[in-house]
Amino acid sequence: MALPDTPPSSAPATPRRRRRLIRRRRPRVRGPSFNRLIPNIMTMLGLCAGLTGMRFALDGRFGDAAVALLIAACIDGLDGRIARLLRGTSRFGAEFDSLSDFLCFGVAPGFVLYLWALRDAGRYGYLPCIMFTVCMALRLARFNASLDDTEKPKYASNFFTGVPAPAGAGLAMFPLFLGLEAHKLGWNQVYELTRLPLLPALTLSGTAFLLVSTLPVWSFKNFKVPSAYVLPLMLGTGAYAAVLVADPWGALAAAGVIYIALLPLSRRSFHRLKQEALALQAEEDNPEAPSNAASPATMEAGEGGQPGIDASSGARPSNPPRTA
């Protein structure tokens, strides 16, 4: 008697077929995405650039040291914006960026200028370097503490309190930029002047006071350019970029002078916005205060008197002065 055929579905599967049927699960890797690491990688590259600039200064290559610190400043201006674009902001990134700024813009400029000219001043040549570094640390600590300040007025968000760290480093290194430009042009007297300890000591000390001051400085983060000035601004930026490539030391020295000249304008703009905000707040607090109150003599004038004119004197009542 013949046995019935076994259906194909009940046939035992081979090991190779079993491996095909079993779906392999991809192991999950826990950790931050690569996009969140890009800002931290850029911050690390800026830190390496600052350390490389210090190494160039030890070898007497001051031009290369200035270029390395300039690269660090460019990276510092980009890492925060890239972090916000990629949504990779974190507390770790903020603290890492602050430590990198302290070394690149607080330690390296004083170190380079000490090797450039201040070591010839004897025992007192190191004092401006210490003052600059300490003030930079205080400025960065104040900035980190202000991040948690939620009561800051809206108009103050467009201003820094004191000169920011990269700009402070650029102002402090003005003697180096001027000296390299003078050496390139063959201005020996100007070059020798920049190698004297007096000028670097003045720039380091003056910049240190600007760092810890309460001077409002434009941040240019939410700076709006009028439509009529867009094309001239683009042309000016292109012209400055061309000058920066052709004559970098002269362009950097001129940028420091222009930045110093903008500080009084920044302070005036801040106080104007503050007074306008206070005046607007005063109007909102007293909405029922009459702005054009008619005098009793005007009310008695009836139909013959003109509205808003005092019938007894024929003069308009003066409005209360408004703070601009």
| Digitized pLDDT (tens) for each residue of the chain, 324 residues in all | 455 555 555 555 555 555 554 555 666 767 677 778 888 999 999 999 999 999 999 999 999 999 999 999 999 988 888 888 888 788 888 889 999 999 999 999 999 999 999 998 888 889 999 999 999 999 999 888 887 776 777 777 778 888 999 999 999 999 999 999 999 999 999 999 999 999 999 999 999 999 999 888 888 776 777 888 889 889 998 999 999 999 999 999 999 999 999 999 988 988 888 888 888 877 777 766 554 444 444 444 444 444 444 434 444 444 444 444
- Could you tell me the end-to-end alpha-carbon distance of the chain, in angstroms, rounded to an integer? 113
Domains of the chain: 35-144+157-223+237-284 (1.20.120)
51-57 contacts, C-beta under 8 A, 24 or more apart:
51/103, 51/108, 53/104, 53/108, 53/112, 54/107, 54/108, 54/111, 54/112, 57/111, 57/112, 57/115, 57/116
Q: Which of 95, 42, 106 is nearest to 69 (CA)?
A: 106
pLDDT for res 22:
53
pTM for the structure as a whole:
0.75
